[in-house]
């Protein structure tokens, strides 16, 4: 099927129940941990998004055997870990196609040097230019050979990690820290991972530590130090992936702007950093309530504007900014610098799209100031080939006076292949697919 150039949407009334897709962050981590284990694990409640398929392919290259089965509208992965294959020695060279998945490439780069003598990493789209310099700086320090022309993929690495002290900045993507936390327990002796600056995205690092513990890996976190015993073995365990709070915000937005929704599949007590979205809804006084059966009921309302430091949850910003464009009063979103190196320059993307829809928004170096309006105009906006931008715009039309056309509608397959199907099931109105 050829890709659509754009999709034109109309405002509509949203009503029904949606089962939130599984957490992409937890899916990546569970698949990696199970793939490193002794024995076979069953990972259930998966969706085969482009990013998750990239990680499955990568772990197969490392040596895991992964068999996929359909289970209802989701998938189960039976994962036989690669640890038993290490007795055969490291592979000579392996090529990893990471598609557009930042998590995949940053989790796998360190692991590749444990399982292969040489590894080459390729990708497409924005991933080709997303920075990997955190690792190349470490390679220089640890005498790992690499080829990385003009700071663009492909990246080729040769060498082998040695136990010892590894130092990273804390104000970088947590994906780099996670990659080392997965790898260092496999080394023959103890290691220490030290953060030279304060840790940002702590929630994502905590997710990694919890997953490692679940699969039998012990790491002690003392302030800015991670004490990592060597020669550890991942233990096979079954795992059910909980719903994704990062995706829930699109449906919270839909219910608030467009009608009434019940949201199912979210864990009430979750370690996901983006679970903060429920606190934000309360602070905005949106009509969002947790029901007796733990589902979340969302009704149409007009929340109030607030000031939010977004440092710990950048993935919420595209939808959050749309919601605040309809809120009562003034809002201020700060610490948005990291949005510039996501699947798109999301800070610029959010600003430009809100402007195009007629929102009252001003941009600073790493902040946005938004004064809410009761309605936006609609019109033509870019999807920036970014799944979160496209999904945010799909919900924005619910508060627009005219139709909204957004480009790159197929980019949702990166994280949520069934998005448009669920959107229409709930009453979202697609006027026209534009094949171009």
**What is the tens place of the pLDDT at every residue in 179-206?**
999 999 999 999 999 999 998 888 999 9
Half-sphere exposure at residue 56, Cβ-oriented, CA atoms within 13 angstroms: 19
- The model's confidence at residue 85, banded by pLDDT at 50, 70 and 90, is low
pLDDT digits (tens, 9 = 90+) for 236-264: 999 999 999 999 999 999 999 999 999 99
CB-CB contact of 299 with 189 (8 Å)? no
* pTM recorded for the entire structure: 0.94
pLDDT tier at 3, thresholds 50, 70, 90: confident
More confident residue, 341 or 8: 8
**pLDDT for residue 76 is more than 90:** yes
> What is residue 84's predicted lDDT score, i.e. its pLDDT?
65
pLDDT band at 90, cuts 50/70/90?
confident
pLDDT at 408: 97
CA distance 296 to 407: 31
Please give the C-alpha separations between residue 330 and each of 235, 306, 333, in angstroms, as whole numbers: 50, 7, 10
Query: Which residue among the candidates 19, 51, 274, 315 is catalytic per the annotation?
Result: 315
Work out the average pLDDT over 396-408.
98
Q: Is 415 left (phi over 0), alpha (psi -120 to 50) or beta?
A: alpha
Helix (H) or strand (E) holding 252: helix 245-258
Mean pLDDT, residues 304-326? 96
Q: CA neighbours within 13 Å on the CB side: how many for 255?
A: 20
User: Any catalytic annotation for residue 410?
Assistant: no
pLDDT tens per residue across span 284-299:
999 999 999 999 999 9
What average pLDDT does the segment 84-103 reach? 86
Question: Does pLDDT of 1 surpass 60?
Answer: no
Q: What is the mean pLDDT of residues 382-403?
A: 97
The residue count for the chain:
436
Q: What does the pLDDT average to over 7-22?
A: 97
pLDDT bucket at 280, cuts 50 / 70 / 90: very high
DSSP-H helix ranges across 116-192: 133-142, 174-183
What value does the mean pLDDT of the chain take? 96
Q: Which domains are present in the chain?
A: 6-21+243-434 (3.65.10.10), 24-163+177-185+208-216 (3.65.10.10)
pLDDT higher than 80, residue 87: no
Place of tokens 């953060």: 195
Quick one: tokens of 108? 């796998």
- Give φ, ψ of 31 to 5 degrees: -65, -40
């Amino acid at each position: 099927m050829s890709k659509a150039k754009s999709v034109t949407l109309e405002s509509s009334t949203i009503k029904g129940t949606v089962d939130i897709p599984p957490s992409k962050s937890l899916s990546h981590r569970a698949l990696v941990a199970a793939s490193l284990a002794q024995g076979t694990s069953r990972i259930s409640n998966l969706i085969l998004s482009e990013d998750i398929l990239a990680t499955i392919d990568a772990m197969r290259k490392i040596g895991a055997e992964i068999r996929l089965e359909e289970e209802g509208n989701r998938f189960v992965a039976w994962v036989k870990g690669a640890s038993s294959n290490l007795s055969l020695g490291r592979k000579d060279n392996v090529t990893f196609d990471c598609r557009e998945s930042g998590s995949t490439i940053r989790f796998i780069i360190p692991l590749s040097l444990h399982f292969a003598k040489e590894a080459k990493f390729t990708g497409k789209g924005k991933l080709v230019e997303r920075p990997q310099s955190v690792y190349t700086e470490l390679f220089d320090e640890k005498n790992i050979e690499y080829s990385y022309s003009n700071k663009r993929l492909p990246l080729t690495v040769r060498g082998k990690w040695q136990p010892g002290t590894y130092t990273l900045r804390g104000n970088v993507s947590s994906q780099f820290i996670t990659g080392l936390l997965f790898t260092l327990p496999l080394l023959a002796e103890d290691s220490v991972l030290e953060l030279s600056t304060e840790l940002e995205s702590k929630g994502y690092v905590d997710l990694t530590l919890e997953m490692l513990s679940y699969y039998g890996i012990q790491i002690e976190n003392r302030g800015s130090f991670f004490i990592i015993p060597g020669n550890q073995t991942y233990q096979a365990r079954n795992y059910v992936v909980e719903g994704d709070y990062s995706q829930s915000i699109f449906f919270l937005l839909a219910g608030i702007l467009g009608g009434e929704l019940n949201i199912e599949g979210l864990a009430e007590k979750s370690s996901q950093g983006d679970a903060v979205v429920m606190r934000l809804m309360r602070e905005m006084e949106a009509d969002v309530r947790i029901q007796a059966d733990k589902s979340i009921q969302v009704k149409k309302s007009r929340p109030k504007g607030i000031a939010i430091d977004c440092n710990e949850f950048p993935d919420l910003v595209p939808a959050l900014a749309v919601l605040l464009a309809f809120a009562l009063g003034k809002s201020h979103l700060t610490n948005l610098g990291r949005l510039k190196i996501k699947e798109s320059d999301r800070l610029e993307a959010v600003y430009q799209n809100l402007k195009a829809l007629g929102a009252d928004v001003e941009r600073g170096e790493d902040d946005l100031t938004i004064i809410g309006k009761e309605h936006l105009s609609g019109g033509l906006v870019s999807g920036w080939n970014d799944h979160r931008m496209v999904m945010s715009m799909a919900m924005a039309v619910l508060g627009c006076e005219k139709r909204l056309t957004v480009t790159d509608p197929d980019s949702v397959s990166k994280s949520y292949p069934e998005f448009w199907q669920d959107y229409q099931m709930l009453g979202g109105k697609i006027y026209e697919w534009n094949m171009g």
